Structure 1
Amino acid sequence: MSKIIPPFTRASATAKVLLAQNLWNTKDPAKVALAYTPDSIWRNRATFVKGRPAIAKFLESKWQKEHGYVLKKELFAHDDNRIAVQFWYEWNDKKDLSGQWYRAHGLEHWTFDNDGLMQERRSSINDMPLRSAADRWFVDGKIERGPDPDPEV
C-alpha cells in the first residue's frame, strides 16, 4: 500500500483512520510511535507529551494499565492536512481480565506533515465503567457490536 499523505480526500482520510486503528490495536508502543513526527505534540486527556520517545513511553504505560484493549476509530471530519476521529475502546483494570471493564469514548484532532506523519494529536477521552460483560462491544479482540446510542439518553 502506498503512503497516505495530505491533502486528504474522504477516501484517503478514511483509509488513514483505519490504518491508525489497526496500528494502535497492535499495542506495540515502538511501532505506533513511528507514525508520528520526531517532535510530535500530544494532548491525551490532561497529559501532554512531546516526541517519539515520550510517545512510546506513554503508550507502554497505558497498555500496562489497560488490559484487553481493543479500539475502534471512525472518521469524523477532514481537511487538507487534518483529520478528526471519534473512537471507542474497551479495557479491563486487571491483567487476568477479571476486573472492571471500561469503555472509553473520545474525539481526536490530528494534524499531519507533508510525509503523512502526525505532527499533532489532541485527544479528549471519557471512561465509562460497564455494568456487566453483556454491555461489552469488543469480545476476544473483535468488534462484536456498537457503537450504540448511549443507554442513558
Structure 2
Amino acid sequence: MKTKPPLPPFTQETATLKVRMAEDAWNTCDPERVVPVYTEDTHWRNRTDFPVGHEQVRQFLERKWAKELEYRLIKELWACSENRIAVRFAYEWHDASGQWFRSYGNENWEFDPQGLMQLRYASINDLPIKSEERKFYWPQGRRPDDHPGLSALGL
C-alpha cells in the first residue's frame, strides 16, 4: 500500500513538514506531482468546484493553472490534531489580461492512515492588486527557504 510520510497522528513538527511539502508540490503547477498525494476517492470543496477522485482533481488543477498564470503560493500551518491539519495560505497570480491578484484562503485537510489526503475543504477570496503590490517574487517553482512566510510578510 502506498504511503506519503509524514503519517498521522501529526505533531506540530510533522504537520509543518506536511504543509511545506504540499506548498512545494502546488508551486510546481504540475497536476502529475500534486494528484498522487490524494486518495483515489479524495473529496474536495474548492470555491464552487467539488471534484471527487484523481481524474476530476487533475482536470480541476489543469483548468486552475491555465487561468492563474505565474502562480506562487505560501502555506502556513494553523492547527493540527490526529489526522487533520488546518492551513492558511496566500498566492499571487495574474490572469490573461495581466491583472494581478492575491488570493487568500484557509484549508481543512483530513488524511488516511497512509498519509494521503482524503478530504480537502478550501475557502478562497481573490483581491485584485497592482503589480507593484506583489510580495512573492521568487522564480516560479519552490519558494526559497530564506523567503519570508505569511506571518513575516504581515499576511
Q: Paired residue for 2:38?
A: 36
Note the residue ranges of structure 2 that are not aligned, 5 or more in a row.
none
CA contact (8 A) 2:76 2:149 kept: no
Please give the alpha-carbon distance, in whole angstroms, between the structure 2 residues aligned to 1:6 and 1:146: 24
One-letter identity of the residue aligned with 1:133: S
CA RMSD after TM alignment = 1.7
Q: Which amino acid in 2 is paired with 1:121? A: R
Residues 91-110 of structure 1: matches in 2 within 5 Å?
91-94=93-96, 99-110=98-109
Between the two structures, name the one with larger relative contact order (CA 8 Å, sep ≥ 6): 2
TM-score by length of structure 1 reads: 0.89
The one-letter code matched in structure 2 to 1:135 is E
CA contact (8 A) 1:74 1:85 kept: yes
For the 8 Å contact 2:6–2:14, the answer to whether it is kept is yes
- The Cα of 1:134 is off from its aligned counterpart by 1.8
Structure 1 residue 25: Cα displacement: 0.5
- Alpha-carbon distance in 1 for matches of 2:154, 2:21: 25
Can you give the 5+ residue segments of structure 1 that lack an aligned partner in the other structure? none
Look up the equivalent residue of 2:103 and give its one-letter code.
A
Cα deviation per residue 1:6-47 (whole Å; 9 max; x = unaligned)? 000000000000000000001111220101000000000121
Q: Give the number of the structure whose residues are more often strand, by fraction.
A: 1
Question: Partners of 2:154 and 2:24 in 1: how far apart?
Answer: 24
Query: Which of residues 14, 20, 23 in structure 1 aligns to 2:22?
Result: 20
| Post-superposition offset of 1:133 | 1.8
C-alpha distance in 1 between matches for 2:86 and 2:148: 22
Deviations 1:27-69 (A, max 9, x none): 1112201010000000001211100111011000100000000
Distance (whole Å) between structure 2 residues aligned to residue 137 and residue 45 of structure 1 = 24
Distance 2:49 2:104 in 1: 17
The count of residues paired between Structure 1 and Structure 2 equals: 145
Aligned residues of 2:74 and 2:149 also touching (Cα < 8 A): no
Using structure 2 for the length normalisation, give the TM-score.
0.88
Identity of aligned residues (%): 48
Map of 1:11 onto structure 2: 13
Q: Give the letter for the 2:92 counterpart.
A: E
Partner of 2:128: 129
Q: Secondary structure at the match of 2:50?
A: strand
Give structure 1 regions of 4+ aligned residues with deviation exceeding 3 angstroms: 140-150
